[in-house]
DNA sequence: TCAAACTCTTGATCTAGATCAAGTTTTTAC
DNA sequence: GTAAAAACTTGATCTAGATCAAGAGTTTGA
């Protein structure tokens, strides 16, 4: 499924055939079965990972054993733990597959090499990072200003399609509320 | 106060004298009096802004007129609205000075030019962006997992010194709680 | 320098959402 | 195909933190 990644980068920037080949030469294809881990808490994350098919979640587990979902990533998105990658430190996060998933991985050394060698690749990566940062800012803003119901409505309007493929329990966790609260909200909003 | 910025970039990367001069040639020095705006909601943000002295806050105002503080930035940090900058769209944020403040501004065109011309500048900017993203992720994680008291303790341990120069009302807003709640938490924790 | 306007504190009360509990439906795995 | 395990729903009750209110500092600006 490398073609999906190929198509993605060609939409974002221009590459010569030689550059495309260079990029592909570093790509590692990885498949995950549903529930399989991509990263476990305590391990150091070493890749830049792009999803070509499927869906993963990034979450932490607290002292009481409850899970807190930090993010979902589906096809045409990136995943991983940037903090662990950058600091070369053990990750606080777990990442596992919600569905059978296919990814394209690059070791971070190779990824940085590509950034240095290919200006348009570097520029693309930078743009993606900026967008990720903006999305994170918006999520913070939402968590400060919205009620539980507004958070849910905001979520489904921002990510239509997610609600149908991700269990409600996980969505509730992502939104910072209990599954019971989400269930009641859904009942409420369905009426309207 | 350009020297403070000079010192900052030299700690982050290596620059030839010609490069340093090139960077400085684009710098705009800006001073803000306490309460003065750097950016008002509805305006398009056009700069990359570094604080050499002082402190600003970034916040939104909701329909009911209440303010929600998104972030504080002090000397040796960057500020601005990346979303407005990137999309060239009116900002949802206000940025104003909590203290008399001095900044170094670059128009975004000049800033991008510097990124293209000077690889170490580009690399530095990229690193900063990555760190900002990581910080945003951590803030999301904290907002999902911590109680009000834990959020406050986390804040003062992460940003010692902030508590003494920023009004409590604003800190409460940043942490997503009311000033009354923060006041009570401070009373509680002072005892221990 | 002094009144007006903020800022912080403390108490009383309220409420959105959490927790606990139990039943129902859906998914999974052999 | 079916039993066990998850996932979801619904109701009853509880609680962290919000809201409302009022007094005590502190800052500010003419």
pLDDT tens figures, B38-63: 999 999 999 999 999 999 999 999 88
Q: Is A79 exposed, middle or buried (0-12, 13-18, 19+ CB in 10 A)?
A: buried
Q: Cβ of B140 and A136 within 8 Å? A: yes
**Through-space separation of residue A69 CA and nucleotide C28 C1' in angstroms:** 23
pTM of this structure: 0.94
* A38-66 burial code (b ≥16 CB/10 A, e <16): bbebeeebbbbbbbbebbbbbbbeeeeee
Closest-CA residue to A2 (of A22, A30, A44) = A30
Query: pLDDT at position B189, please?
Result: 87
Q: Which residue has the tokens 């240095």?
A: A116
- Report residue A122 as tokens: 């570097």
**Through-space separation of residue A65 CA and nucleotide C25 C1' in angstroms:** 26
Query: pLDDT at position A77, please?
Result: 96
Q: What is the pLDDT of residues A43-73, one digit of tens each?
A: 999 999 999 999 999 999 988 888 999 999 9
Please check the confidence at residue A36 and state whether its pLDDT lies above 90: yes
Query: pLDDT at position B159, please?
Result: 94
Distance between CA atoms of residues A118 and A172, nearest Å = 41
Cβ contact A180 with chain D strand, < 7 A: yes
């Amino acid at each position: 499924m490398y073609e999906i990644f190929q198509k993605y980068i060609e939409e974002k920037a221009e590459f010569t055939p030689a550059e495309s080949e260079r990029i592909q030469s570093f790509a590692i294809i990885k498949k995950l079965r549903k529930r399989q881990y991509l990263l476990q808490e305590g391990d150091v994350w070493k890749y830049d990972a792009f999803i070509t098919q499927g869906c993963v979640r990034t979450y932490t587990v607290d002292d009481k054993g409850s899970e807190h979902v930090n993010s979902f990533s589906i096809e045409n998105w990136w995943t991983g733990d940037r903090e662990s990658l950058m600091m070369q430190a053990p990750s606080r996060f777990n990442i596992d597959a919600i569905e059978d998933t296919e990814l394209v991985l690059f070791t971070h050394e190779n990824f940085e090499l590509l950034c240095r060698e290919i200006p348009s690749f570097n520029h693309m990566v930078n743009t993606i990072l900026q967008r990720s940062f903006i999305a994170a800012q918006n999520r913070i803003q939402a968590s400060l200003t919205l009620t539980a119901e507004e958070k849910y409505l905001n979520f489904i309007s921002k990510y239509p399609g997610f609600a149908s493929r991700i269990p409600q329990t996980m969505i509730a966790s992502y939104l910072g509320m209990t599954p019971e609260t989400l269930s009641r909200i859904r009942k409420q909003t369905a009426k309207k």
